[in-house]
Amino acid sequence: MLVYDKRKLMETDQDRIINDVTSGDYKYGFYTDIETEKIPRGLNEDTVRLISEKKEEPEWLLEFRLKSFRQWQNMKMPSWANLKIPEIDYQDIIYYAAPRQKPRVNSLDDIDPELKRTFDRLGIPLEEQKHLSGVAVDAVMDSVSVKTTFRETLAEMGIIFCSFSEAVREFPELVRRYMGSVVPYTDNFFAALNSAVFSDGSFCYVPKGIRCPMELSTYFRINSANTGQFERTLLVADEESYVSYLEGCTAPMRDENQLHAAVVEIIAEKNAEVKYSTVQNWYPGDKDGNGGIFNFVTKRGLCRGEGSKISWTQVETGSAITWKYPSCILRGDNSTGEFYSVAVTNNHQQADTGTKMIHIGRNTKSTIVSKGISAGYGQNSYRGLVKVLKNAKDARNFSQCDSLLLGDKCGAHTFPYLEVDNQSAIVEHEATTSKIGEDQIFYCNQRGISTEDAIGLIVNGYAREVINKLPMEFAVEAQKLLQISLEGSVG
C-alpha cells in the first residue's frame, strides 16, 4: 500500500511540476545578504595555514594541507578534457568565506534567521520536526557547515553524520585513517588544490551491520562573490552496512565564474552498500555564456571489502563547465560498481563527465548508464574508462552511452576507453545518438500536449532509467530540473 501511495504522490507531483514550470529562469539565483567572514584573495602557504588556524585544526591536518599545497604548486591544470576552459587566476579567488555566527551551533535557535530563511527558500529544511520525509541534512554554505540535522537520532545507532570539521575534532582517528585513502592528494590538480584549502563538507560513518534508516543529505550553497567552494566528503560504510546519501547544490547568479573543486571519497567494507546520488544544479551561466560555476570534482569510491557495492547516480543540469568522473575501484572480490548519469548542457554549458570502473578483484561487476542531453550550443562529452586488471578473473562490465540532441548547434561526444588485461572479462558497450524528432513532438501536440511539455515528457522518458535510481524526493526534483534546464531550447 505504501508503494501505491508513493506513486500517487509522484503523479500529482508530476502534474504540479508540469503546471508549475512555465518560466525557464534559474530559481536559486538569489543572494543572501548575510555578514560573512572572508580572508583576502589569493593562495600561498600562509593562506593554507590561515584556513587551518581558523578551523582550529590539529597539526597532522595542517601538514596534510601543506603537503598538498606543495604538490599542487608543481602541477598543471589538466587539458585533456573536451572543454574550453578560460584562464583561471587562482590568485584572484577567496579561499575561505563563512557566514558569521556562533562557531558551534548546538540548537536551531543559534542559527542566524537569515541563514535559516535561505535554506527554507531552497527547500532545505533545517528544522527536524517539520521535515516529514526523514532525510537528515548537513547544510553547507560557502566554506562551512551550517547545521546537521538528526544527529542525535543517528548517533543512537552509532551512525556518525556531521560536518567534516566536527569529524576532525571529534573523530580524528577515523578521519586520519580514511581521508586521502581513495583520492590521494597527489591524484590530480583539483584534488591537490582541494586537499590544500578544503574548508568543510560532510563526514559519515556507518558502523558494522547497521542499515542507515534515513537518507543522508548534504546541501551545498555558494553564496559569497569571488569565492571558491572546496568541500570534502568522506563516507565510510563498515562491514554489512548500508547508507543512501544525497547531495544537492545551488549558487546565486553572477556574471563572473566561480570555482567549485570538491573531493568525495567513499569506502565500502565487506558486504557494505553505498548509494550516492547527486542533483547538481550550480548556476550554469546566462544564455550568452556569462558567469556560472566551474565544477571540477573528484569523486571516487573504493569497494574495499568482498561483496561490497557502490552506486553513483548523478543528474547534472547546472554549472558552466562540469569536469567530473565519479569512479569505483572494485578491489574486493564480488564487488559491484554502478554509475548512472544524466548530464544536460544547454546554452553555452560544457560537460565532460563519465566514470572509471577499475576491476581488481575477482567476479567484480560494473554497470555504466550515461545519458547526455545537449541543447543550444551545449557540448556534452561522455568519457569513461573500464579497466580490468590481470587478476580480475571473470570481471563483467556493461556500458550504455546515449546522447540526445536538441537543435543543430549542440554537440555530443563519446570517449570510451577499455583496458582489459584478463581474458575472462566480458565487457559490453552500447552507444546511441538520437534527436528529439519533430514527429515525436507533433504526436504529443496532436494529443493536446504543448511543445514545451512534450520536450519535458520526451526528455524525462529518455532519462527515466537513471531518474528511477534516485530516491523519491530527489527524483521529483530531478524531473523538474530537466524540464527547466531545457526550456526554450526548441523553438
Partner 1 sequence: MLVIKNLHAAIEGKKILRGISLEVKPGEIHAIMGPNGSGKSTLAAVLAGRDLAEVTEGSVTYFGRNLLEMAPEDRSREGIFLGFQYPIEIPGVSMVNFLKTAVNEHRKYKGLEPLSASDFLRIMREKKELVDIDSKLANRSVNEGFSGGEKKKNEIFQMAMLEPKLAILDETDSGLDIDALRVVANGVNKLKRPDNSAIVITHYQRLLDYIVPDVVHVLYDGRIVKSAGKELALELEEKGYDWIKKEVDNQN
- For 10, how many CA atoms within 13 A lie in the half-sphere containing its CB? 17
Please give the Cα distance from 387 to 357 (Å, whole number). 6
Q: Which is nearer to partner 1, 172 or 488 (CB)?
A: 488
The nearest distance, CB 436 to partner 1, in angstroms, is: 10
Residue among 236 and 375 whose Cβ is closer to partner 1: 375
Residue 269, C-beta contacts closer than 8 angstroms, at least 6 positions apart: 236, 237, 238, 239, 241, 304, 305, 308
Looking at the Cβ atoms of 393 and 464, the one nearer to partner 1 is 464
Min. distance of Cβ 21 from partner 1 in angstroms? 13
Please report how close the Cβ of residue 454 comes to partner 1 at its closest, in angstroms. 9
Q: To the nearest whole angstrom, how small is the minimum distance from the Cβ of residue 312 to partner 1?
A: 21
Q: HSE of 332 in the Cβ direction (CA atoms, 13 Å)?
A: 23
Q: Which is nearer to partner 1, 5 or 152 (CB)?
A: 5
Choose between 419 and 430: whose C-beta lies nearer to partner 1: 430
What's the CA gap between 431 and 399, in Å, rounded?
8
Which CB atom, from 206 or from 482, has the smaller least distance to partner 1? 482
Give the nearest distance from C-beta 311 to partner 1 in angstroms.
20
Query: Closer to partner 1 at the Cβ: 7 or 121?
Result: 7
Query: Three-state SS across the chain?
Result: CHHHHHHHHHHHHHHHHHHHCCCCCCCCCCCCCCCEEECCCCCCHHHHHHHHHHCCCCHHHHHHHHHHHHHHHCCCCCCCCCCCCCCCCHHHCECCEEECCCCCCCCHHHCCHHHHHHHHHCCCCCCHHHCCCCEEEEEEECCEEEEECCHHHHHHCCCEEEEHHHHHHHCHHHHHHHCCCCCCCCCCHHHHHHHHHCCEEEEEEECCCCECCCEEEEEEECCCCCECECEEEEEEECCCCEEEEEEEEECCCCCCEEEECCEEEEEECCCCEEEEEEEECCCCCCCCCCCEEEEEEEEEEEECCCCCEEEEEEEECCCCEEEECCEEEECCCCCEEEEEEEEEECCCCEEEEEEEEEECCCCCEEEEEEEEEECCCCEEEEEEEEEECCCCCCCEEEEEEEEEECCCCCEEEEEEEEEECCCCCEEEEEEEEEECCHHHHHHHHHCCCCHHHHHHHHHHHHCHHHHCCCCHHHHHHHHHHHHHHCCCCCC
Q: How far is the CB of 463 from partner 1 (least distance, A)?
A: 7
> Residue 15 CB, nearest distance to partner 1 (Å)?
5
Tell me how far, at minimum, the Cβ of 448 lies from partner 1, in Å.
4
Q: Which lies closer to partner 1 via its Cβ, residue 34 or residue 481? A: 481
In the complex with partner 1, the residue whose CB is nearer, 310 or 482, is 482
The residue (of 37 and 453) whose beta carbon lies closer to partner 1 is 453
* Distance in Å, CB of 14 to partner 1, minimum: 7
Q: How far apart are the first and last CA of the chain?
A: 43
Closer to partner 1 by CB, 48 or 404: give it. Answer: 404
CB of 107 to partner 1, least distance (A): 40
- Based on CB atoms, which residue is closest to partner 1, 18 or 279? 18
User: Within 10 Å of residue 125's Cβ, how many Cβ atoms?
Assistant: 19
Chain residues binding partner 1 by CB under 8 A are 7-8, 11-12, 14-15, 18-19, 437, 439-440, 442-451, 453, 457-458, 460-465
Closer to partner 1 at the Cβ: 18 or 303?
18
The distance of Cα 253 from the centroid of its chain, to the nearest Å, equals 19
Report the nearest approach of partner 1 to the CB of residue 378 (Å): 21
The distance of closest approach from Cβ of residue 414 to partner 1 in the complex, given in angstroms and rounded to an integer, is 19
Q: How far is the CB of 397 from partner 1 (least distance, A)?
A: 23
Q: Which three cell numbers stand for residue 461?
A: 522518458
Instruction: Kindly list the distances between the CA atom of residue 354 and the CA atoms of 23, 89, 315, 357, in Å, as whole numbers in the listed order.
Output: 30, 26, 12, 10
